[in-house]
Amino acid sequence: MATFRRRSSLLPILPFLVLLLASPAVAGKTEQLTVFWGRNKDEGSLREACDADTYTTVLISFFNVFGHGRYWIDLSGHNVSAVGGDVKHCQQAKNVTVLLSVGGDGDRYSLPTARSARDVADHLWHAYLGGGRHGVFRPFGDAVLDGVDFYIDHGGSEHYDELARRLAGYRHRGKKAVLLTATPRCMDGGQGTSGVDAALATGLFRRIHVRFYNDTMCSFNAAEKRPFYGSWLGWTERYPQAKVYVGLPAARDAASDGWVDPRTLFFDALPLVQDTANYGGVMLWNRYYDKRDRYGLRIKLMV
């Protein structure tokens, strides 16, 4: 009787592994890979994402109702009560940084006043970070997230600098600062119309995950690299104090444009950015698509 061996899941990535091992080391390679989690119940649990040993940071998305005395987190059908244990597992067992991303694609958030910015910062501190005020519900129990990501696409552009300053003033146990990151659209930088522009101008953000997708004006195109590269230089030069990440869709259908196949990423895209002093790594949108297509695993050693 003929016997059949199960084909190894590593076979599709072996050519890239051989190429990477045989090639000279890339000066700016960091192996820092960030992913958004929480947008599709079929992506699996947060623990599963961290146990994939692919990501160094996970952005829980999204805290998407705030600014008018109401606060809500939308995790697309995930069991919120189970997330706290997963957060601690990711941080302690896997050394994965876990952040809460605020904003998103909805229109139920804004900061109409300076007072609302302070109120939102206080809520985030006591509900998700190192605080714990009596009467403030903590959806993830005693798990303490490492920081907050700004993903602000709607609701005006005012008072996000005040939100950032308020959050940066808090200190976790042991006086560890709240990590602030931002995930802006690649076309936004310095235009003054985005909710993150004024916040980034504070100089308090340690990472910026620029979304080089869903915008043909700056998404990567192997046939014409100048728009992508020009946008990249704009971001890295404008915010030299921050590590800047290349945000990419994890599958062709994860965004309207901007997907880069692994070979093109290695030969054409990454060489443009990895010589930059504040290159940080790659961000992927999102875990559902990456779990399905294993894009992160294929590019991990490249970034």
Model pTM? 0.90
Q: What is the pLDDT of residue 11?
A: 44
Domain ranges of the chain: 29-299
The stretch 259-268 carries a mean pLDDT of 98
Is the pLDDT reported for residue 92 higher than 50? Answer: yes
pLDDT at 9 exceeding the cut of 60 = no
In the predicted structure, residue 193 carries a pLDDT above the cut 60: no
Question: Is 90 exceeded by the pLDDT of residue 174?
Answer: no
**Dihedral pair phi/psi, residue 275, rounded to 5°:** -85, -5
Give the C-alpha separation, 104 to 66, whole Å. Answer: 12
The model's pLDDT over 101-131, given as tens digits with 9 standing for 90+, comes to 999 998 999 999 999 999 999 999 999 999 9
Instruction: Work out the mean pLDDT of the chain and round it to a whole number.
Output: 91
pLDDT in tens, 16-51: 544 444 443 344 899 999 999 999 999 999 999 999
| Higher-pLDDT residue of 74, 11 | 74
| Per-residue pLDDT tens over the stretch 49-59 | 999 999 999 99
CATH architecture of 29-299: Alpha-Beta Barrel (3.20)
Share of the chain above pLDDT 70, in %: 89
**Is it the case that residue 191 has pLDDT exceeding 70?**
no
* Alpha-helix runs per DSSP H in the chain: 14-22, 46-51, 80-93, 114-127, 160-168, 197-200, 226-238, 262-264, 270-273, 287-293, 295-299
Helix intervals (H) in 23-61: 46-51
pLDDT at 10: 44
